[in-house]
Structure 1
Amino acid sequence: MNLINKLSFIFLWLFLFTGCKAEFENGVSDIDSWDMADEFEPTMVHPGVLHTNEDCEHIRQMIEEQKEPYYTTYQELIKEPKASAEYSIQGPFEIIARDGTYANTKGKAESDFDAIYLNAVMWMITQDPAHAQRSLELMLAYAEVLKDIDGNDTALMAGLEGIKIVYALEMLSHTYDKISETDIQKVNDMLRNVFLPVWEEFYNTNPYTNGNWGLHVTKSYMAAAILWDDVDMYKKCVNFYLYGNDNGTISHYIDGDTGQCQESGRDQQHTILGLGALSAICELAWKQGNDLYSAYENRVLLGYEYTVKYNLGYDVPFKTWTDVTGKYCKWDVISKETKDKNGGVDTERGNCWQPVFYMVYNHYVNRKGLSMPYTAELLGTYQELEYDGGHPSYGPLLFNDLK
């Protein structure tokens, strides 16, 4: 190798392994200018937001054969009022928010978005057009009215709720022949005019939040990229996930030595909320032919096992975390208690489970043959039979033994 080639190789190596930090030294994620995600070329299979046609057929077959744990979980799903084709809309609203002036819309809008998602899931499973039609009617009701997301938590709301609409539109537009191009355009316009600007603003702002925010934004952003066949948009959020300077990236959310999470000292609920978004991002990418699960030596597995181990009652190491924003660096012990709404103290350790474990367990253990002993221990007793609006939920049915 001549001197010029040697120098070129050294420069490339330094860019790949240290350039990310230099690009983000001022805390602004200039991910539009990056080409580092070029190796992550999505297949753009449709439907391809969390479930493909192959997944749908597998789930239907398991229910038809009354296989467990699919069948029992399905029985719980159909009991959920928001999964009913008879669900009564509580909105729509012109402006939605989690806090502030329009905080009164939070619970009602979230419930409507849950119903959009869950009816799309029920359509996917049962092929009953009543569910597809109800999901579509709810989406169109909001598409006609919704103009803005307000409050301090705009990015979080857009991240948590956006994927529900995207999932439903993706599933219906590729499997329900009664949806028209006009209908599709109306819902897409709402996503582009109301949700997309909030996601983009988050990426273009100096980091300012705990990590679960960025993870939920990326989850919805990637789903929308798949919906819109937007390869550049898809690679943009892969860049953010892998290389961005934010608490909501894989390298900044989970410690590579221990698995401690950025929010482990805050509380366990938010930590698991963040982990759930991590696995959803990885699953979205997996369905598009890209393996983000293995990034940074299976870092997601490490974070899950650390958190589950602690919440099962085992000891884990903990260090005070220096976060990206500099605002969340004072937690000197791992969180085991949290204050309730009345100022009292609840013991959260071991009492904070959310339905986020089957998806990640299916990948690392069923697909890859790796070991997750603490998650396996948890799933021996915790079955994910409930719905949680922050996650796709119903893992034993929807994310069990998927290819």
Structure 2
Amino acid sequence: MKKNLIFALGLSLITGFTACSSEIEDGTTDIDSWEMPYEEVVAKYTYTHPCAMFNEADFTRVKTMLDNGSAPQAVKDEFNLLKSSQFTNVTYTPSPTEKIVRGDATGTGTTENSNNAMRDAAAAYQLSLLWKLTGDTKYADTSIKILNAWAKVCKEVTSNDSNHMLAAGAQGYTFANAGEIMSTYSGWAANDLTAFKKWMKDVFAPKNLDFMKRHQGTCSDHYWSNWDLVNMCSYFAIGILNEDDEMVNFVVNYFYNGVGNGYIGKLIQGTFSDPLGSGEEIAQNQESGRDQGHAMMSIAVTANLCQMAYTLLQCNPTVTQLDFFAAKDNAIMKMGEYTALFNLRNGSDQLNAAGSWLATKEQMPFNRYEYCVDCSCADKNHGAIHTAIADDNGRGNLRPGWEILFNHYAKVKKLGSGYKYAKMAADKMRPEGGVDGGSRYGTNSGAFDQLGWGTLMLYRE
């Protein structure tokens, strides 16, 4: 299905912002320097499905090299991981619930049960990948069985606290990406596909939008970047699935000029030269002073968001604002470099193995960050001041997502430099897998925050 491309406003808005320093002399971030005069993007898009994480050309390229044996060994290895995943068994049985409850279940009439949605959304997505890469309709039929079951049963994402907004985001964009891929399957009955698309738009999208607009009634800086980012991913993917230009435009505009910490002007908290002397620029993440697990989650989910936007750009080449990867002089690449540098070790190719860190805490440049200090939130005791990068127990536990950054900047854009540490992180993780694909980031909720399987779909030698 396609729509004629109509760009309602001029395309004078460049993807990168006007060049300016992101730091000021006292070491804090000059957020105002990001807030350039901004013209809202209002576009009508062409949707050549699938066009969220990957498009038909991506699937054809990978399937062809798997079929003819020319795929790099790492791609073959990850393909085998996917086929052996507990979530890709064609006898997989979904466990839909009327309410997806994450957090305090008080008042919901049930217990916390979001694991059901986490597992089933991951299964639907992994099965959709296998269908496209093998042509075996048993995978397709099992994926749509899962999607249909949830659309028929589930009515709400809820809890007695804000944690359900994470489920609305993380599971929202996983379900939506599965549905986007499966929407090209002729065996999915038209009425069931319509019902699924409506379910996504009725159950998940309102939560995503409300969070980005109101942030649960708190100040716009109250929630860390990952909260915004999963909801941005979900709203964007649901918009693509439903061919809803208004939804897609909302996320594009939010990325460039939003109120929360998913806005690139807040997501990036300062740019520096690599302290190890590579000559690269690295950029502090909004969560870098919090803990490394969340800093890496922020990177991984940002990578997923950028990948979806770039895929949609392929159908809409004049809407250059969709190139989130390129924004603010490749700021996302630099943000990845900062976090990768601090989470990599010398002396071993194995994840989390003994070996000295590439960079010490003292070597890492850091802009003082004031989180919710003197903000408008009712609770005046929740703020924090970060003066150095967080060196915690989660350091070194890499999440899937580095393959996206390395592939884009090195293989798609063919930049000659700037991604040294993303490459090292991707090399260490490859084959990257995802949840149940080499046990990346465990099996709890953190394992389901990002889609994974980047080596399979993106890696090229």
Query: What TM-score range do you get, normalising by the shorter chain?
Result: 0.7 to 0.9
Residue 442 (structure 2) pairs with residue 392 (structure 1): no
Matches of 1:275 and 1:249, distance apart in 2? 13
Corresponding residue to 2:331 among 274, 299, 308: 299
Residue 140 (structure 2) pairs with residue 120 (structure 1): no
From the two aligned structures, give the one with the greater helix fraction.
1
Give 1:311's aligned residue: 343
Give 1:381's aligned residue: 428
- Match for 1:348: what amino acid? G
Give 1:363's aligned residue: 408
Offset from partner CA, 1:85-128 (integer Å, 9 cap, x none): 12122x21111122111553122221111111111111111111
Closer, same or farther: CA 47–386 of 1 in aligned 2, 3 Å? closer
Query: Is the contact made by 1:162 and 1:220 (CA closer than 8 Å) also made in structure 2?
Result: yes
Give 2:27's aligned residue: none
Corresponding residue to 2:75 among 70, 76, 83: 70
Residue 96 (structure 2) pairs with residue 50 (structure 1): no
Give 1:167's aligned residue: 177
Matches of 1:155 and 1:36, distance apart in 2? 26
Matches of 2:299 and 2:44, distance apart in 1? 24
Give 1:331's aligned residue: 386
Offset from partner CA, 1:336-372 (integer Å, 9 cap, x none): 21xxxxxxxxx2222x201111111111111112221
Corresponding residue to 1:199 among 189, 199, 208: 208
- Structure 1 gaps of 5+ residues are 1-11, 18-33, 338-346
Query: Is the contact made by 2:404 and 2:458 (CA closer than 8 Å) also made in structure 1?
Result: yes
Matches of 1:396 and 1:75, distance apart in 2? 12
Query: Is the contact made by 1:252 and 1:324 (CA closer than 8 Å) also made in structure 2?
Result: no
Deviation at 1:256, TM superposition (A): 4.2
Matches of 2:336 and 2:119, distance apart in 1? 28
SS of equivalent residue, structure 1 residue 100: coil
Residue 229 (structure 2) pairs with residue 215 (structure 1): yes
How many residues matched?
A: 360
- Match for 1:322: what amino acid? E
SS of equivalent residue, structure 2 residue 112: helix
After superposition, residues 254-269 of structure 1 pair within 5 angstroms as: 254-258=268-272, 259-269=283-293
Matches of 1:324 and 1:368, distance apart in 2? 37
Give 1:178's aligned residue: 187
Give 1:95's aligned residue: 99
Query: Is the contact made by 2:292 and 2:390 (CA closer than 8 Å) also made in structure 1?
Result: yes
Closer, same or farther: CA 139–62 of 1 in aligned 2, 3 Å? same
Query: Is the contact made by 2:205 and 2:234 (CA closer than 8 Å) also made in structure 1?
Result: no
**What is the root-mean-square deviation of aligned Cα atoms in Å?**
2.2
SS of equivalent residue, structure 2 residue 157: strand
Deviation at 1:317, TM superposition (A): 0.7
- Structure 2 gaps of 5+ residues are 1-12, 19-37, 273-282, 314-321, 345-356, 376-381, 436-446
- Match for 2:311: what amino acid? K
SS of equivalent residue, structure 1 residue 82: coil
Matches of 2:293 and 2:111, distance apart in 1? 21
Give 2:311's aligned residue: 287
